[in-house]
Chain A
Amino acid sequence: MSQIQTVIVDDEALARGVLREMLAGHPDVEIAAECGNGFEAVKVVSEMRPDLLLLDIQMPKLDGFEVLELVANDVTVIFVTAYDQYAIRAFEVHAVDYLLKPYSPERLAEALDRARARIAAKDKVPEGLVAAGRARQTPLERILIRDRADVHVIPVEKIDYLESQDDYVSVKAAGKSYLKEQTLAELETLLDKEVFVRIHRRYILNIARLSRIELAVKDNRIAILVDGSKLPISRSGYARLKELLK
């Protein structure tokens, strides 16, 4: 049997130590890397494409679920945490197990057995299922964008507007724009409907950024944002906007 390439992600050195020590009893499990935070984990997992991820949930900047959202889907995951309230969500994103700290070597061995079975069966998680699990946390509080090795975390209140670009969305926030691989329609369902409104086939506006609406020619209206930029408003978009501003 080939070695199982494993990455340990936990912000506490001692917690990583326990795993390292207990994994020594499993010669088929090879520790490829250890990460102390979510950013590092995203980078390492994307580069190394390990078989198994031992993932803490409560971490600075990016939590375990967010790490999973940002990396490729075909990695087997065991969550390791002191918090029991994420168990249901963990199984929604198809984690093979959920270890509660502190755990015994036997309990870890059991989790590893499940991981071995999943890896052997090449029972990969179908594309999009991770996102589906993630989608339950709505409305979205922040948008995560992976830009090669870098990860940007954008709180939704900092977003000015979103622009559709085929299969991507361009996120405009604080004068910068970021490209996220997701369709505008998908993102629309995840955002707070009291704040974000689809004003046009190609645009979603943060209502807090709207300065005024101008009438261009005939029925064409234009949204003027606080920073002066202009966005077109479609007829149905105007109806939605009016509804929200009522």
Chain B
Amino acid sequence: MHPILSDRRRLALYLLGWLPIGLLLTAGLSARTSWPTAAALLLPLSLVFAFMSLNAGYLCRVFPIDARATIWRTVIVQVVAATMVSTIWIAIGAGWVGALNLIAPDLRAGAVFSERRLLLFVIGALLFWLASILHYLLIAFEASQQAERRAIELSLLTRDAELKALRAQIDPHFLFNSLHSISALTTVDPAAARRMCLLLADFLRETLRLGANNRIPLADEFALADRFLEIERVRLGPRLQVTRETDPQATACLVPPLLIQPLVENAVVHGVSQLVEGGTIRIAASRGGPTLTIKVENPCDPDRPRRQRAGLGLDLLKKRVVTQFGAEATVLVEEADGRFRVEVRIPAEVAA
């Protein structure tokens, strides 16, 4: 149903809007004849047209002005429709005049109507086009409102994912284990204990600082991961080894904050720390034209229980990448031959 017809107050307002048009037409015709004749003829016909012009709404929705629409198609559709609507209107008008002649022959409406029929036909067509234009504007307005709402929803979703990511970022067990290491070091190596405190403070501060940005250089992200790895190396000792292959073109790229850090954390928590002999985490970043590729690879125990498998963090990462880059980005996760690999490809952005 047409949105105007579905609401009584809206309909009343709409018909009220047609009153000046009806009066204007009456005034125009009254120059040729008497006021009462013009009013009796045109006020009811205006009311009828008010309803007929609502058809423009359906027409505008069936033939929207979009990428596929050509000017010619739109013009032809509107001309045909206006001609048809106006013709029907004039036919209804003829019927009404016939009735008027019976009810009030003194008004001599028949003569005036036949004299002005063509003009009324043209006015009808013009009014219909006006209605079409208004409907097109209304549709465009609705579309832009919808787009705005979608944009807000999307940004909320992004923000939400970001907040969750940040909250998940600082794993309480990481903190407790680090504090325990400090507790252990205070007596045997006070200098190392102090260094560990400073590292931990730096890591926490940097996590919060970077998390507040929209984009950060990949180099900053790697610096954060370095601090994390340094702290974990105090705990895990020589079991934790890291190699890194990065080219300066890649580290200069801008990335969403805390994108890589969770991958490195997974590599330690679910990978290296679950191996008796430990292992080497390989981190690589490269830029190939418009694409930035970041790889994090770690050895893992293929027989580890399912509950120790990384799941949540990776799901979150995928969601973030998809909301921010859409189809332009891919996250590849694979596990084979005791090695766990994550590859993130996102569009390479460089600071202006």
Chain A residues with a Cβ under 8 A of chain B? 11-15, 17-18, 21, 36-37, 39, 60-61, 82-83, 100-102, 141-142, 153-155
Inter-subunit contact B273/A102 (CB<8 Å): no
Using a CB-CB cutoff of 8 Å, which residues 140-189 of chain B contact chain A? 173, 176-177, 179-185, 187-188
Q: Does B17 contact A (CB under 8 A)?
A: no
In contact, B301 and A60 (Cβ under 8 angstroms)? yes
In the complex, which residues of chain B have a beta carbon less than 8 angstroms from the beta carbon of A36? 276
List residues of chain B with CB within 8 A of the CB of A60.
Answer: 273-276, 301
Given A12-B177, A82-B177, 15 more A-B residue pairs with CB atoms under 8 Å apart are A11-B273, A12-B235, A13-B237, A14-B185, A14-B234, A15-B181, A18-B180, A18-B183, A60-B275, A61-B274, A82-B173, A82-B176, A83-B173, A101-B180, A101-B183
Contacts of A18 in B (CB 8 A): 180, 183-184
Query: Smallest Cβ distance from A50 to chain B, in angstroms?
Result: 21
Q: Roughly how many angstroms separate A135 CA and B111 CA in the complex, as a whole number? A: 101
Q: Is the CB of A14 within 8 A of B235?
A: yes
* CB-contact partner of B180 in A21, A39, A102, under 8 A: A102
Please name the 6 residue pairs, one residue from A and one from B, whose CB atoms are nearest each other, closest first. A101-B180, A82-B176, A14-B184, A102-B180, A102-B183, A18-B184
**Residue of B177, B185, B274, B306 with most chain A CB atoms under a 10 A cut-off:** B177
User: How far apart sit A82 and B180, CA to CA, in the bound complex (Å)?
Assistant: 8
- Tell me if B's interface is mostly helix, strand, loop or mixed: helix
Known: A12-B235, A82-B177, A100-B176. A142 touches B184 (CB 8 A): no
Distance between Cα atoms of A142 and B274 in the complex (Å): 16
Chain B positions near chain A (C-beta within 8 angstroms): 173, 176-177, 179-185, 187-188, 234-237, 273-276, 301, 303, 305-307
Closest CB in chain A relative to B192 CB, distance in Å: 10
Q: Across the interface, do B301 and A15 meet the contact criterion of CB distance under 8 Å? A: no
Q: How far is the CA of A24 from the CA of B307 in the complex (A)?
A: 37
By beta carbon, the residue of chain B nearest A16 is B184
A102: chain B residues at CB < 8 Å are: 176, 179-180, 182-183
Chain A residue contacts of B303, Cβ below 8 A: 142, 153-155
Q: Taking the nearest CB of chain B, how far is it from the CB of A12, in angstroms? A: 6
Q: Are A15 and B275 in contact (CB under 8 A)?
A: no
Q: Give chain B residues whose Cβ lies under 8 Å from the Cβ of A12.
A: 177, 181, 235-237
**A134, chain B: closest CB distance, angstroms:** 13
Chain B residues with CB below 8 A from A11, complex form: 273, 276
**Most chain B CB within a 10 A radius of its CB, from A12, A13, A36, A83:** A12
Q: Which residues of B contact A142 (CB under 8 A)?
A: 303, 305
In the bound complex, what is the Cα–Cα distance between A36 and B278 (angstroms)? 12
Given A12-B236, A37-B276, A155-B303: A17 in contact with B188 (beta carbons within 8 A): yes
A121 to chain B, nearest CB (A): 31
Which residues of chain A have C-beta atoms less than 8 A from B179's C-beta?
Answer: 101-102
Contacts of B234 in A (CB 8 A): 14
Which chain A residues border B184 with CB–CB below 8 Å?
Answer: 14-15, 17-18, 21
A101 surroundings in chain B (CB, below 8 A):
176-177, 179-180, 183
The answer to whether A61 touches B176, judged by C-beta atoms less than 8 angstroms apart, is: no
Shortest Cβ distance from A17 into B: residue: B184
Complex contacts, A14 vs chain B, CB 8 Å: 180-181, 184-185, 234-235
25 A-B contacts (beta carbon < 8 Å): A11-B273, A12-B237, A14-B181, A14-B184, A14-B234, A15-B180, A15-B181, A15-B184, A18-B183, A21-B184, A21-B188, A36-B276, A37-B276, A60-B274, A60-B301, A61-B301, A83-B173, A100-B176, A101-B176, A101-B180, A101-B183, A102-B180, A102-B183, A141-B307, A153-B303
